[in-house]
Structure 1
Amino acid sequence: MKSNAGCCRRPFAVLVIAMSWLTGCATADSEAMGFAACPPIVEYSREFRARAAEELTLLPNGSAIVEMVADYVVLRDQARLC
Protein backbone atom coordinates (compact mmCIF):
# COMPACT_ATOMS: atom_id res chain seq x y z
CA MET A 1 0.00 0.00 0.00
CA LYS A 2 1.31 3.45 -0.98
CA SER A 3 1.48 6.25 1.52
CA ASN A 4 -0.48 9.38 0.67
CA ALA A 5 1.52 11.60 3.04
CA GLY A 6 3.14 13.48 0.15
CA CYS A 7 -0.10 14.35 -1.64
CA CYS A 8 -0.68 17.44 0.51
CA ARG A 9 2.79 18.85 0.10
CA ARG A 10 2.35 20.00 -3.50
CA PRO A 11 -0.77 22.16 -2.90
CA PHE A 12 0.84 23.56 0.24
CA ALA A 13 4.01 24.47 -1.69
CA VAL A 14 1.93 26.15 -4.41
CA LEU A 15 0.06 28.11 -1.74
CA VAL A 16 3.30 29.25 -0.10
CA ILE A 17 4.73 30.39 -3.45
CA ALA A 18 1.53 32.23 -4.37
CA MET A 19 1.42 34.01 -1.01
CA SER A 20 5.06 35.08 -1.31
CA TRP A 21 4.33 36.55 -4.76
CA LEU A 22 1.32 38.43 -3.41
CA THR A 23 3.21 39.86 -0.45
CA GLY A 24 5.98 40.93 -2.81
CA CYS A 25 3.48 43.10 -4.65
CA ALA A 26 2.64 44.99 -1.46
CA THR A 27 6.12 46.28 -0.68
CA ALA A 28 5.45 49.90 -1.73
CA ASP A 29 4.24 52.27 0.95
CA SER A 30 0.84 53.73 0.07
CA GLU A 31 1.79 57.01 1.74
CA ALA A 32 4.81 57.37 -0.52
CA MET A 33 2.65 56.85 -3.61
CA GLY A 34 0.34 59.69 -2.62
CA PHE A 35 -2.49 57.58 -1.20
CA ALA A 36 -3.16 58.35 2.42
CA ALA A 37 -5.11 56.00 4.64
CA CYS A 38 -7.31 58.88 5.78
CA PRO A 39 -9.00 61.09 3.19
CA PRO A 40 -8.61 64.85 3.46
CA ILE A 41 -11.58 66.73 4.88
CA VAL A 42 -12.81 69.69 2.85
CA GLU A 43 -13.42 72.71 5.04
CA TYR A 44 -16.51 74.78 4.24
CA SER A 45 -17.07 78.36 5.32
CA ARG A 46 -19.78 79.16 7.86
CA GLU A 47 -21.75 80.99 5.18
CA PHE A 48 -21.60 78.04 2.80
CA ARG A 49 -22.73 75.61 5.52
CA ALA A 50 -25.63 77.94 6.43
CA ARG A 51 -26.68 78.10 2.77
CA ALA A 52 -26.53 74.30 2.49
CA ALA A 53 -28.64 73.92 5.64
CA GLU A 54 -31.25 76.30 4.24
CA GLU A 55 -31.34 74.39 0.95
CA LEU A 56 -31.76 71.09 2.81
CA THR A 57 -34.82 72.43 4.64
CA LEU A 58 -36.45 73.14 1.26
CA LEU A 59 -36.29 69.48 0.23
CA PRO A 60 -39.36 67.30 0.82
CA ASN A 61 -39.46 64.87 3.76
CA GLY A 62 -37.93 61.51 2.89
CA SER A 63 -35.74 63.02 0.17
CA ALA A 64 -32.86 60.84 -0.98
CA ILE A 65 -30.56 63.87 -0.90
CA VAL A 66 -31.25 64.40 2.81
CA GLU A 67 -30.35 60.77 3.53
CA MET A 68 -27.17 61.03 1.44
CA VAL A 69 -26.08 64.19 3.26
CA ALA A 70 -26.65 62.46 6.60
CA ASP A 71 -24.38 59.62 5.43
CA TYR A 72 -21.82 62.20 4.32
CA VAL A 73 -21.85 63.76 7.79
CA VAL A 74 -21.05 60.36 9.31
CA LEU A 75 -18.21 59.80 6.83
CA ARG A 76 -16.75 63.24 7.62
CA ASP A 77 -16.86 62.47 11.34
CA GLN A 78 -15.11 59.14 10.74
CA ALA A 79 -12.46 60.79 8.56
CA ARG A 80 -11.91 63.45 11.22
CA LEU A 81 -11.26 60.73 13.80
CA CYS A 82 -8.88 58.97 11.44
Structure 2
Amino acid sequence: MKSSARYSRRQLAALVIATSLLSGCATDGSDGSGPGACPPVVEYSREFHARAAEELDLLLEGSAIAEMLNDYAVMREQARICTVAGW
Protein backbone atom coordinates (compact mmCIF):
# COMPACT_ATOMS: atom_id res chain seq x y z
CA MET A 1 0.00 0.00 0.00
CA LYS A 2 2.90 2.33 0.62
CA SER A 3 4.06 2.14 -2.98
CA SER A 4 0.64 3.11 -4.37
CA ALA A 5 0.43 6.07 -1.95
CA ARG A 6 3.84 7.26 -3.12
CA TYR A 7 2.78 6.84 -6.73
CA SER A 8 -0.31 8.98 -6.14
CA ARG A 9 1.79 11.74 -4.60
CA ARG A 10 4.11 11.68 -7.59
CA GLN A 11 1.15 11.90 -9.94
CA LEU A 12 -0.27 14.78 -7.93
CA ALA A 13 3.08 16.58 -7.94
CA ALA A 14 3.40 16.12 -11.71
CA LEU A 15 -0.12 17.43 -12.22
CA VAL A 16 0.55 20.49 -10.05
CA ILE A 17 3.78 21.25 -11.92
CA ALA A 18 2.19 20.78 -15.34
CA THR A 19 -0.78 22.97 -14.39
CA SER A 20 1.54 25.66 -13.10
CA LEU A 21 3.65 25.64 -16.26
CA LEU A 22 0.66 25.67 -18.58
CA SER A 23 -1.16 28.42 -16.70
CA GLY A 24 1.88 30.66 -17.18
CA CYS A 25 1.30 30.50 -20.93
CA ALA A 26 -2.20 31.92 -20.62
CA THR A 27 -1.31 35.12 -18.76
CA ASP A 28 -0.33 37.23 -21.80
CA GLY A 29 -3.22 39.51 -22.72
CA SER A 30 -4.19 40.10 -26.32
CA ASP A 31 -3.67 43.84 -25.78
CA GLY A 32 0.08 43.28 -25.33
CA SER A 33 0.08 44.23 -21.67
CA GLY A 34 0.97 40.79 -20.31
CA PRO A 35 4.32 39.43 -19.19
CA GLY A 36 5.58 39.19 -22.77
CA ALA A 37 5.13 42.91 -23.33
CA CYS A 38 8.06 45.33 -23.36
CA PRO A 39 8.66 47.14 -20.07
CA PRO A 40 8.36 50.93 -20.11
CA VAL A 41 11.57 52.96 -20.29
CA VAL A 42 11.55 55.96 -17.96
CA GLU A 43 12.97 59.10 -19.58
CA TYR A 44 15.26 61.30 -17.47
CA SER A 45 16.16 64.94 -18.06
CA ARG A 46 19.70 66.04 -18.94
CA GLU A 47 19.96 67.69 -15.53
CA PHE A 48 19.03 64.44 -13.83
CA HIS A 49 21.62 62.54 -15.90
CA ALA A 50 24.28 65.10 -14.93
CA ARG A 51 23.38 64.81 -11.24
CA ALA A 52 23.50 61.00 -11.43
CA ALA A 53 26.93 61.13 -13.12
CA GLU A 54 28.26 63.41 -10.37
CA GLU A 55 26.95 61.08 -7.68
CA LEU A 56 28.41 58.06 -9.46
CA ASP A 57 31.83 59.73 -9.45
CA LEU A 58 31.63 59.93 -5.64
CA LEU A 59 31.29 56.16 -5.27
CA LEU A 60 34.27 53.98 -4.51
CA GLU A 61 35.76 52.22 -7.51
CA GLY A 62 34.26 48.76 -7.92
CA SER A 63 31.29 49.52 -5.67
CA ALA A 64 28.27 47.26 -5.83
CA ILE A 65 26.01 50.19 -6.67
CA ALA A 66 28.13 51.11 -9.70
CA GLU A 67 27.95 47.50 -10.91
CA MET A 68 24.19 47.47 -10.44
CA LEU A 69 23.87 50.69 -12.41
CA ASN A 70 25.80 49.12 -15.29
CA ASP A 71 23.35 46.20 -15.27
CA TYR A 72 20.45 48.65 -15.18
CA ALA A 73 21.85 50.47 -18.22
CA VAL A 74 21.92 47.18 -20.15
CA MET A 75 18.34 46.40 -19.14
CA ARG A 76 17.19 49.87 -20.21
CA GLU A 77 18.80 49.40 -23.61
CA GLN A 78 17.16 45.98 -24.00
CA ALA A 79 13.77 47.48 -23.10
CA ARG A 80 14.32 50.31 -25.56
CA ILE A 81 15.15 47.82 -28.36
CA CYS A 82 12.11 45.74 -27.41
CA THR A 83 9.86 48.77 -27.69
CA VAL A 84 11.31 49.89 -31.04
CA ALA A 85 11.08 46.35 -32.44
CA GLY A 86 7.45 46.09 -31.29
CA TRP A 87 7.86 42.81 -29.41
- What TM-score results when the alignment is normalised by the length of structure 2? 0.59
Question: Would the alpha carbon gap of residues 66 and 29 (structure 1) be closer, same or farther in structure 2, given more than 3 Å must change?
Answer: closer
Identical-residue share of aligned pairs (%): 64
Q: For this pair of structures, how many residues does the alignment match?
A: 62
Across the aligned residues of Structure 1 and Structure 2, the Cα RMSD in angstroms comes to 2.7
Counterparts of 1:60 and 1:33, CA distance in 2: 41
Q: Which runs of 4+ in 1 moved over 4 A?
A: none
Identify unmatched segments of 5+ residues in structure 1: 1-17
Counting only pairs closer than 5 Å after superposition, residues 46-65 of structure 1 correspond to structure 2 as 46-65=46-65
The TM-score with structure 1 as length reference comes to 0.62
Aligned-partner Cα distance in 1 for 2:53–2:59: 10
Long gaps (5+) in structure 2: 1-17, 83-87
Q: Distance in 1 between matches of 2:33 and 2:79?
A: 17
Which has the larger share of helix?
Answer: 2
